[in-house]
Each structure stands twice: as C-alpha cells, then as structure tokens.
C-alpha cells in the first residue's frame, strides 16, 4: 500500500454514510482528544497513523470496529514490518511502534465508550525498541563547531546562533523553541519559562549565560527589524516576521549540521539529546535532567521527584558543557545506570517522532 499524500489523507475513508464505521468513530475520537486538551500536534500525528490503518482495513473490506480482531491487528503489524519506503528501506522499529500506539488508544476508547464489547488491541505485543545509544551524539567540540557556523555579521546569522545556543543550553524541544515568547526569558535570574510543553505542562528551567547573551543581542539588534504588526511576542521569527514551522526550523538546523562536515546527521533534537548525555556523563542526577527536559516521569525507573529551580540551576551550571564559570561542585549524586539508559532511550524515541513529523 502506497502512503498517501497529506491532501489525499484528509479525504473520507470508506462509506461516509455509515455511522458505525471506523472512519466515523475516528472523527469522534479525535474530537474527544481535543476536548481533553491533547495538543493539536499529537492529535494530527495520531490521526494520520489511524488513517493509514483504516485505509488498510477498508482495502480488505474491514469497515467497522467489530470487524477488527487481534489476528487482524497482528496482520497489520506484519504489514508495517514488511513495508518498504520509496528508497527501499523498512520502517524503523520506532516508526512501527509510533504507528501502532494510536491504534491501541483508539480501541481502548471504543471499548470505554461501549462501541465495542472487548478491546482487540489490549494484548497486542508492541515492537521491541533498541535500548542503546543512538549513533549521532555530539561531542563538545562538535557542538562548538556547529555553533560557530552562522555568520554573526548578518541578522539571520545572529538569530540562528541564538536559536541553536538556546537549544543547546536548555535542551528544550523543537516546538518549545518555536513557541518561546520574549517575556518567557528572565535574563536577571537566568531562567526560561516554557509554557504549554508536552502534555500542556509549564516548567521553569535554567539557561546558560552564553545563550542569554546571544538571545539579548538578537532581541535588541535583530528582532525589531523582523517583527510585523500582526506578530505577538514570539521570540524567534523568520526573515519575513513569521513564526517558524517545525519543518522549517528542522531544515535550518539540519543545514548547519551538514555544513559542519562532522559526519553526523540530525537536527534540533540532536542538541537536546547531546546536552542530556553530556550532563549525565558529567555527574548530573537523573532527576535534574528529567526536570530540564520536561519528562514528568520515566516509567521504567519511577524516580522523579520535584526539584527547585535554584538547585536545578546549580546542577545545570556544574554539569552543562557550555558553562561559563567552572564550578567544582562538592555535591555529586551517583546516577543509576538503568535510569540513564531509560532516559536516553526515551530521547531516542522522541527523536524518531521528530523524524516522523518531518
């Protein structure tokens, strides 16, 4: 089955007159999720995955939820395993996992809403994800090489340097950088308030002095010429005063990484993953890294506890590789190896999600 383009994917699937069809219930499921404040990005991504599944079902004469059994879902799982992209490559285990996860949520909802009597996806075995470090983690030297690439004699170069410094210093997600507001950064306290992160949660995290200096230079010298009357307080803008799209930001950062000729591929998430790995190697407690990244918990470790911004800033200053002031902290909490592996594995899954979104 060839994957459809975005325009075709938005078309109805199957008999739209059937009020009990998989497609009909899909529309209700998406609306239900929006009403419960799932992010638009999550709803859009999950809808796309469910459209692939429902199209596959429709091609086999499976049009209603009660037509779907566990063996049917296992057939679809084998289809994903055997599927080959246009370049001849298979779907990665992470992509297969991400395609199946919304299906499990969909049938769980159908069961809870009493549209079906039992959940055929409840015991579906998910693809096993590799628990290993990804190939592309940046070293300190490689990060500095990339950060030095923007031509800071130009307005766009200053903006690009400020954006990448922010990604590297804070480890924030791509969409969190896009949505960052001018007034979300407290230059005096050295903190960033991330509003409406993943799961709709706010968090206050530290940001390094070097990143703050580049942000201030961009804010004062560059942004006033970019901002348009229709713009709100969004910090980082395109040359035409627009808000970045996820794909456009990824492409911009990826181009710099390619230009560096360090032999590694990646985009925004590469800074996030590299920062977390470096802080972990430098002795940061897993709990503080979790707080920085916005992971409320790691189910495999269940060790998350609330930490104060002051302590988090101390840990950030002591372990972040771009720290300005060397601070040999006397306090060092040993990091559990299992917790570190789980954290890095979760970051690898996030990276795969970013690739799928692009």
**Residues tagged active-site:** 173, 198, 269, 272, 295, 304
Query: Taking the CA of residue 258 as centre, how many other CA atoms within 13 Å lie in the half-sphere pointing to its CB?
Result: 7
Phi, psi of 235 (to 5 degrees): -75, -60
- Enter the DSSP assignment of 44: H
d(CA 176, CA 318): 24
Q: Cβ atoms within 10 A of the Cβ of 239, count?
A: 10
- Enter the DSSP assignment of 21: S
Phi, psi of 203 (to 5 degrees): -150, 150
**Whether the Cβ atoms of residue 143 and residue 271 lie closer than 8 Å to each other:** yes
Residue with tokens 């001849």: 88
Residue with tokens 């101390």: 314
- Enter the DSSP assignment of 80: H
d(CA 95, CA 49): 10
Chain mean position to CA 111: 29
CB within 8 Å of 273: residues ≥ 6 apart: 134, 137, 344, 347, 348, 351
């Amino acid at each position: 089955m060839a994957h459809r383009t975005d325009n075709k994917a938005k078309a109805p699937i199957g008999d739209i007159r059937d009020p009990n069809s998989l497609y009909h219930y899909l529309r209700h499921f998406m609306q239900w999720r929006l009403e419960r404040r799932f992010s638009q990005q999550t709803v859009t991504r999950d809808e796309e995955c469910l459209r692939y599944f429902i199209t596959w079902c429709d091609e086999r004469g499976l049009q209603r939820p009660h037509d779907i059994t566990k063996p049917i879902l296992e057939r679809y799982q084998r289809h994903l395993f055997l599927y080959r992209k246009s370049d001849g490559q298979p779907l990665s285990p992470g992509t297969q996992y991400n395609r199946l996860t919304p299906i499990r949520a969909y049938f769980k909802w159908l069961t809870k809403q009493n549209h079906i009597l039992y959940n055929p996806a409840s015991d579906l075995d998910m693809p096993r994800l590799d628990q290993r470090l990804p190939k592309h983690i940046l070293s300190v030297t490689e990060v500095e090489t990339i950060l030095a690439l923007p031509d800071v004699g130009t307005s766009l170069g200053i903006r690009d340097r400020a954006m990448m410094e922010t990604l590297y210093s804070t480890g924030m997600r791509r969409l969190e950088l896009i949505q960052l507001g001018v007034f979300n950064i407290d230059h005096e306290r050295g903190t960033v308030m991330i509003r409406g992160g993943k799961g709709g949660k706010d968090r206050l995290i530290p940001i390094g002095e070097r990143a703050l200096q580049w942000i201030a230079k961009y804010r004062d010298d560059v942004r006033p010429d970019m901002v348009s009357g229709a713009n709100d307080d969004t910090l980082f803008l395109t040359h035409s005063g627009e808000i970045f799209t996820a794909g456009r930001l990824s492409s911009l950062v990826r181009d710099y990484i390619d230009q560096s000729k360090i032999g590694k591929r990646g985009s925004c998430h590469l800074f996030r993953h590299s920062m977390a790995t470096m802080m972990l190697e430098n002795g940061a407690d897993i709990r503080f890294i979790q707080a920085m990244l916005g992971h409320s918990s790691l189910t495999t470790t269940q060790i998350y506890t609330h930490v104060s911004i002051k302590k988090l800033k101390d840990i950030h200053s002591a372990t972040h590789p771009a720290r300005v002031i060397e601070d040999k902290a006397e306090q060092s909490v040993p990091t559990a190896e299992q917790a570190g592996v789980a954290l890095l594995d979760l970051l690898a899954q996030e990276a795969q999600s970013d690739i799928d979104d692009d």
